[in-house]
Amino acid sequence: MTSSLSVEWLGERRYADGLTLQDQSVADRIAGRTGDRLILLEHSAVITLGRSTDPANLHRTPDEMRAAGIDVYEVGRGGDVTYHAPGQLVGYPILDLAGLDRKDVHDHLRRIEAALMDALEQLSVPARRVEGRTGVFIDRARSARPDGPDRKIASIGVGIRKWVTFHGFALNVTLDLAGFDAIVPCGLSDVEMTSVLRELEIEGKGEGLAAATLDEQVRGLVGEAMCARLGAEGS
């Protein structure tokens, strides 16, 4: 399938490098030096603190986290605390929404969610949206473990500069979920974080899965789904 979106996999990058990269990519897209791109990568373990981060959402002090080998990064913009680490697929769609004739930021968010849900369905992980919350959650009704709090599998946050998008999504694939214990993700205290691997285990399909293989498979599926949902229509 051809798509107007070019997908690039960069491997593991530090969060700070990701920021520089996005700045550059957005500038390139605005100047027309590149077309629409989806940059896929993983971040080295890092906790990002937003400007509005409530200290109550941190269960450990930044120094304790640094001592545990987790980078702490203050992003100086809105948003709450997030956790990234290898085993979590991060995607920055760098799209010119004006060029795509889709000048609607919520439509962009919904498309990212839809693409992630498409990819998760392919993996037999039941996914859904939760009204009023951005991100992708497990559809517990269809899960082998329907009880307990909502389980969040992907976070989404988008920036926009002259109708060019940046930031994007973070899908938990195989990362150690214990990393989230240090924080309350996005300030949602009644939500449990989960991952593709964790959900496959719940479904009884986790047997003998190699993390690296699963990471790669998810990457491929997400790339395809994003192309289908985010690319130009009719391409």
Contact track, other proteins, 17-56, x by CB under 8 A: x-xx--xx--------x-----------------x-----
- Number of residues this chain uses to bind other proteins (CB under 8 A): 33
| Identity of the residue, 167 or 198, whose beta carbon is nearer to other proteins in the bound complex | 167
For other proteins, which residue of 6, 10, 62, 75 counts as binding (CB under 8 A)?
A: 75
- Catalytic hit among 186, 200, 225, 226: 186
| Cβ(103)–Cβ(163) below 8 Å | yes
- The DSSP string of the chain is ---SSEEEEEEEE-HHHHHHHHHHHHHHHHHTSS--EEEEEEEPSEEEE-TT--GGGBSS-HHHHHHTT-EEEE--SSS--EEE-TTEEEEEEE-BTTTTT---HHHHHHHHHHHHHHHHHHTT--EEEETTEEEEEE-GGGSS---SSEEEEEEEEEEEETTEEEEEEEEESS--GGGGGGB-GGG-TTEEE--HHHHHHHTT--TT--HHHHHHHHHHHHHHHHHHHHSPTT-
In this chain, which of 61, 68, 78, 144 binds other proteins, going by CB under 8 A? 78
Whether 227 sits among the annotated catalytic residues: the reply is: no
Instruction: Figure out which of the listed residues 63, 69, 106, 210 binds other proteins, where binding follows CB under 8 A.
Output: 106
| Chain centroid offset of residue 93 CA | 11
Residue 16 engages other proteins in binding (rule: CB under 8 A):
yes
Which range in 77-85, 121-129, 170-178, 190-198 contacts other proteins by CB under 8 A?
Answer: 77-85
Interacting positions 162-201 with other proteins (CB under 8 A): 162, 167
CA pair distance 36, 70, nearest whole angstrom: 32
Query: In terms of CB distance, is 168 or 197 closer to other proteins?
Result: 168
The correct pick among 157, 179, 185, 223 for binding other proteins (CB under 8 A) is 157
- Which residues does residue 91 pair with via DSSP β-bridges, in sequence order? 40, 169
Of 54-62, 160-168, 170-178, 199-207, the window that binds other proteins (rule: CB under 8 A) is 160-168
Only one of the segments 73-81, 85-93, 137-145, 226-234 lies at the binding site for other proteins (rule: CB under 8 A); that segment is 73-81
Per CB under 8 A, which region of 99-107, 142-150, 193-201, 203-211 contacts other proteins? 99-107
Give the active site residues.
186
* Residues within the interface to other proteins (CB under 8 A): 14, 16-17, 19-20, 23-24, 33, 51, 73-79, 103-109, 134-135, 156-162, 167
